[in-house]
Amino acid sequence: MLIRPAADIRSSELTPEAAYWNRRDWLAAAGGAFAASALVPGSLRALAQGGSPVAQGTPYGLQPGDKPTPWEDVTGYNNFYEFGTGKEDPAELAKGFNPKPWTVKVDGLVKKAADYQLEDFIKPSKLEDRIYRHRCVEAWSMVIPWRGIPLADVLKRAEPTSQAKFVEFTTLFDPRRMPGQALRVLDWPYVEGLRLDEAMHPLTLLATGVYGRDLPNQNGAPLRLHVPWKYGFKSIKSIVHIRLVDKQPRNSWQLSSPNEYGFYSNVNPEVDHPRWSQASERRIGEFARRKTLMFNGYADQVASMYSGMDLRKNY
């Protein structure tokens, strides 16, 4: 299964915007054959009001029966320890956080290191709307309409050298603005990492928005990572530093609890967390549990990157 960029989707493959506003049109289309894909501009208004998009040609790993998680849940039930360890803490404690202005440093093993203001780092004209499954290591999941830019576009601009093998990301460290950093839950600032081929994969997204709006503070404003085949803790938030390196970064949860969290963090129903099973998940808003899909349902797109690897050892 190949992923085509949004620019390659013909307008004839997209449902007219008027159909997004008619929920019965969506239900009729979904009843025949399931199709899920990138969104066209304007369609997110319907999503926020309970509608769902129908677009063909660019599968993003959704499954029959998947539908976007309501805005209230996407923005009100979050893991963001910089603003507290409770799921509702970020929405409350991040209210006063001001993500403007914002600078992102890109350096390390690159030919064009630079400090960017956010508006120069990501051009609004380059943003794409995508619906991705989001799977948390605590065995709950959501379906979220993100807005962002492929990470590969940013990395290509920096021109990684031949020595670059990994990408390291760092969150803002500012306990005054992020009260959760005053707690000794983790060794701050938060650090995450990807192998370079994972970072360059077309599904890997630097997100700046959700449901067609700028990222709320509790969701990682103004810039976060999303890697849909990995557990959510890989999706580092409020990024200020992207560094190309030759050795595997030690991510924060791996340093904190190495017996529970590995570097790769690929969604794998056959590898349980020491304190719970990963064989099933609970979609937020649903009562019944679902079977966990290998690579979170994105195996067709990403499994080849791990050919020959022991995915139990490299969890």
pLDDT tens sequence across 268-311:
999 999 999 999 999 999 989 999 999 999 999 999 999 999 99
Spatial contact of 41 and 125, defined as CB atoms under 8 Å apart: no
Residue 21 shares a structural domain with residue 132: no
CATH at 265: 3.90.420.10
Which of 56-60, 100-104, 174-178, 224-228 is the least confident region? 56-60
Among 59, 76, 102, the domain boundary falls at 59
Check whether residue 124 and residue 240 sit in a common domain.
Answer: yes
Do residues 40 and 141 share a domain?
A: no
User: CA–CA distance from 56 to each of 14, 43, 128, 137, 224 (Å)?
Assistant: 6, 14, 16, 30, 27
43 shares a domain with 90: no
d(CA 31, CA 246): 49
Instruction: Find the mean pLDDT for residues 29-55.
Output: 38
Number of structural domains (the chain) is 2
**Distances from the Cα of 282 to the Cα of 184, 231, 279, angstroms:** 29, 14, 11
Q: Please report which confidence band the pLDDT of residue 60 belongs to, taking 50, 70 and 90 as the band edges.
A: low
85 and 3 together in one domain = no
Asked whether the CA dihedral 231, 232, 233, 239 is positive or negative, the reply is positive
- Which residues on neighbouring strands pair with residue 205, listed in sequence order? 150, 226
What is the mean predicted confidence (pLDDT) over 192-218? Answer: 97
Residue 72 shares a structural domain with residue 49:
no
Asked if pLDDT for residue 108 goes beyond 80, the answer is yes
The pTM score is 0.83
Side chain identity at residue 186, one-letter code: L
Q: Which tens digits make up the pLDDT trace of 144-197?
A: 999 999 999 999 999 999 999 999 999 999 999 999 999 999 999 999 999 999
Q: Is the pLDDT of residue 4 over 60?
A: no
- Rounded mean pLDDT of the chain? 84
**pLDDT > 70: what percent of the chain?**
81
In a domain, 263, yes or no: yes
pLDDT band, residue 265 (cuts 50/70/90): very high
Given this model, what pLDDT does residue 22 score?
A: 36
The answer to whether 199 touches 230, Cβ cutoff 8 Å, is: no
pLDDT at residue 8 tops 90:
no
- Model confidence band, residue 18 (pLDDT cutoffs 50, 70, 90): very low
**With pLDDT > 90 as the criterion, what percentage of the chain qualifies?**
76
What is the rounded distance in angstroms from the CA atom of residue 110 to the CA atom of residue 155? 9
Q: Are 18 and 86 members of one domain?
A: no
Q: Is residue 313 part of a domain?
A: no
Q: What average pLDDT does this structure show over 21-39?
A: 33
If asked whether residues 178 and 104 sit together in one domain, one would say yes
Looking at residue 76, what is its pLDDT?
97
Residues 111-135 have a mean pLDDT of 92
How confident is the model at residue 5, as a pLDDT? 38
* Domain finish residue from 40, 59, 78: 59
Average pLDDT over residues 123-136: 91
Taking 60 as the threshold, does the pLDDT of residue 10 lie above it?
A: no
Residue 146 covered by a domain: yes
pLDDT of residue 37: 35
Q: Summarize the confidence of residues 74-88 as an average pLDDT.
A: 97
The confidence score (pLDDT) of residue 3 equals 38
Q: Which domain holds residue 15?
A: 1-59
Q: Are residues 138 and 234 in the same domain?
A: yes
Q: Which residues have a Cβ under 8 Å from the Cβ of 28 and sit 6 or more positions away? A: none
Q: Which residue has the higher pLDDT, 184 or 30?
A: 184
Contact 146, 209 (CB under 8 A): yes
Residues 48 and 72 in one domain: no
Residue-level pLDDT at 62: 77
Same domain, 195 and 91: yes
| Together in a domain, 48 and 128 | no
